[in-house]
Amino acid sequence: MKEETTAPGPLIWSLPEPPGRPTTTLSRADILRAALTIADAEGAAALTMRRVATAVGASTPMSLYRYVGSKDGLVDLMIDAVYGEIPLPAASSAPWRTALEQLSLDTWTVIGRHLWFGHLVHTRPPLGPNALRYFDFRFALLEPLGITADDMTRITTAIDGHLIGTALQLAEEQRMRARTGLLTEQQLAEAAAPLLQPILAADRHPAFTRWLASRTLPDPTDPTDPVAWTLTCLLDGITTRLNLPA
């Protein structure tokens, strides 16, 4: 049986916000704030129209559809709100790599506050006004390099994959820690010890065993940012591969 497919619904910006009513103080801004609060605290899975309706004091989830059209419309607003938090300088005189690296780190700072973004960003076309300003700024950094549009796509896709992939990983890790109560690295290591003991005793994975014995637990005071470290390596490789100016 052929699986049914549906095209993405209309973008929220094509649906003008309706005028207010005397019997309610609801607005898109109120609904968006409530949705962001729920998703920031509990993740994308907790985001339901019923939860948002309760948070804004709406009588039923259907009350929200007049303002956002559908849950897709709400997700449009949420994704674009995240892009809107990323600072974009009016102009950049820095070398392309310095500017792109700073933009990427600023992007990660914002995504780090909204880890649900990794789950939702690819569920809708990111074509809101804030997203388009962000993409336009980023491509403007790369245009002077004289590379092809396909190479610009590869560069931005690689960076986005790193940032969004890290957000997905951290979001799932947070869910695991909340579910198990293993909030620190030490607690996690102690919980894993009984599972690892028979594996290590079998002595069938010597390289893994040596790595485990030699590694140290992450130090929260270590200034090395793993996201920034990987980003630097990624840009090193891109610069070399495309023979770009450093």
Q: How far is CA 3 from the centre of its chain?
A: 29
How many degrees, rounded to 5, is the angle at CA 210 between CA 207 and CA 214? 140
Q: What are phi and psi of 190, to 5 degrees?
A: -65, -40
CA distance 27 to 22: 12
Asked if residue 230 has pLDDT above 90, the reply is yes
Asked if residue 6 has pLDDT above 80, the reply is no
CA distance 238 to 235: 5
Give, as one character, the DSSP assignment of residue 229: H
Asked if residue 201 has pLDDT above 70, the reply is yes
Give, as one character, the DSSP assignment of residue 125: -
Asked if residue 223 has pLDDT above 80, the reply is no
CA distance 166 to 227: 8
The pTM assigned to this predicted structure is 0.89
Q: Which domains does the chain have, with CATH numbers?
A: 12-77 (1.10.10.60), 83-182+223-241 (1.10.357.10)
State residue 134's pLDDT score.
97
